[in-house]
Amino acid sequence: MNPEPKEVVVSVQNLEKRFGDFIAVNRINLDVTRGEIFGFLGPNGAGKSTTIRMLCGILNPTAGQGRVAGYDIFRESEQIKEHIGYMSQKFSLYEDLSVEENINFYSGIYNIAAGKKEQRKQWVIEMAGLQEHRQSKAGTLSVGWKQRLSLGCAILHEPPIVFLDEPTSGVDPLSRRRFWDLIHQMSEQGVTIFVTTHYMEEAEYCDRLALIYRGELTAMGTPRELKTNLMKDQIIELKTLHPQDLIEPLQKVTGVKEVALYGGGLHLVVEDFARIQPELQSTLQRLNSTAFIKRVDPSLEDVFVSLIEARERSERPQQGVRK
pTM: 0.83
Task: State pLDDT tens for residues 133-180.
Answer: 889 999 998 888 888 888 889 989 999 999 998 888 777 788 788 888
Average pLDDT of the residues of the chain: 87
**Residue 125: closest CA among 110, 138, 113, 143:** 138
At residue 1, the pLDDT reads 54
At residue 73, the pLDDT reads 95
Task: State pLDDT tens for residues 105-134.
Answer: 999 888 888 889 999 999 989 888 888 888
Task: State pLDDT tens for residues 189-230.
Answer: 999 999 988 788 888 899 999 999 899 998 899 998 888 887
At residue 322, the pLDDT reads 35
CA 204/CA 12 separation, integer angstroms: 24
Architecture field, domain 228-322: 2-Layer Sandwich (3.30)
CATH 3.30.70.250 residue ranges for the chain: 228-322
Task: State pLDDT tens for residues 235-264.
Answer: 899 998 888 889 999 999 988 988 888 888
At residue 63, the pLDDT reads 96
Task: State pLDDT tens for residues 56-89.
Answer: 999 999 999 999 999 999 999 999 999 999 998 7
What count of other Cβ atoms lies within 10 Å of the Cβ of residue 69?
A: 18
At residue 262, the pLDDT reads 83
Residue 320, φ and ψ in degrees, nearest 5: -65, -40
Architecture field, domain 8-226: 3-Layer(aba) Sandwich (3.40)
Residue 317 pLDDT class (50, 70, 90 cuts)? low
At residue 320, the pLDDT reads 42
Question: Is the per-residue pLDDT at 44 higher than 90?
Answer: no
Whether 138 contacts 149, CB under 8 Å? yes
CA 189/CA 184 separation, integer angstroms: 9
CA distances from 179 to 106, 190, 210 (A): 20, 17, 21
CATH 3.40.50.300 residue ranges for the chain: 8-226
